[in-house]
Amino acid sequence: MEKRTMLWIHDFLSLIYPRNCVCCGNGLWGQEKVICTFCDFHLPRTWFHLEHDNPVSRTFWGRIRLEGAASYLHFNKGNNVQQLIHHLKYKGRKDIGIYLGARYGLSLKNSPFFHTAELVIPVPLHRKKMRQRGYNQSEQFAIGLADAMNIPVGKQLIRTSPSGTQTRKSRFTRWENVSGIFRVPDPIKLSGKHILLVDDVITTGATLEACAGALSLIPDTRISIATIAAVKI
């Protein structure tokens, strides 16, 4: 009787709050979350976490020393990945970040380049942006990753000033826009750790480079980078 009641409540709530796939809009069934099985199967995965020399890691060659660098998905204008990122950032769908993080975390946990990570740190938002959006989309991704990898999420990295939008800026202008705006108030807590630095999308890598630069000043710290998606680099 109790199980039947729970199923009735679930069906009733589904009528009020429809569980639809973010990508195709069709209803979700059973244990499906965020996106349906069909759309999940057809997500454009990169498999970069299996290669030390990949397009994301090459972005940082000669700029910052990394243990590993990878992105879960390919980002192209108009594809399902853009839809997922848009809903994550602007539609309040924090669950998308957690879901994708959990899925990718299982892969990173078994990757030779990421499995020793001890702490996940998201690229921070400035407090003004946090007030506007209400949450940090990269932190949601970090939560999912950390849960799957069985490691904590850290907030030891802070953004000291807003950087403005990076859209339509050149690589050098993007770097100028974020140079020196990140710092670690209590670096001793991160000394000797392998940190997984995460963001939503990587384009030129300027923001991640600035964050990694601040973290790399800490003695004996190793840094890896992971993002939800990467545009064509």
CATH number of the domain bearing residue 182: 3.40.50.2020
Based on the fold, state whether residues 76 and 132 are members of the same structural domain: yes
Its pTM stands at: 0.85
Based on the fold, state whether residues 29 and 57 are members of the same structural domain: no
- Phi first, then psi, for residue 35 (nearest 5°) are -130, 155
Residue bearing the bigger pLDDT, 139 or 171: 139
Based on the fold, state whether residues 124 and 223 are members of the same structural domain: yes
Domain count, the chain: 2
Among the residue ranges 9-18, 26-35, 125-134, 193-202, the one predicted with the least confidence is: 9-18
Measured CA to CA, the distance from residue 71 to residue 218 in angstroms comes to 25
At 8-43, the pLDDT tens digits run 544 544 554 568 999 999 999 988 999 999 999 999
Based on the fold, state whether residues 16 and 87 are members of the same structural domain: no
Average pLDDT of span 105-115: 97
Residue 222 banded pLDDT, cuts 50, 70, 90:
very high
Whether pLDDT at 113 is above 50: yes
Based on the fold, state whether residues 209 and 121 are members of the same structural domain: yes
- Cα atoms in the 13 Å half-sphere on the side-chain side of 230: 24
For residue 188, give both structure tokens: 């001793």
Residue 172 banded pLDDT, cuts 50, 70, 90:
very low
Based on the fold, state whether residues 60 and 28 are members of the same structural domain: no
Residue bearing the bigger pLDDT, 69 or 3: 69
Based on the fold, state whether residues 60 and 119 are members of the same structural domain: yes
Domain boundary among 10, 26, 42: 42
Query: Which structural domain, as residue segments, surrounds residue 193?
Result: 43-230
Q: Return the pLDDT at 4.
A: 55
Based on the fold, state whether residues 21 and 4 are members of the same structural domain: yes
What does 56-98 look like in DSSP terms, one character per residue? HHHHTTTT---SEEEEEEE--TTSHHHHHHHHHHHS--HHHHH
Based on the fold, state whether residues 149 and 37 are members of the same structural domain: no
Based on the fold, state whether residues 106 and 156 are members of the same structural domain: yes
Average pLDDT of span 159-171: 60
Lookup result for tokens 């998606």: 229
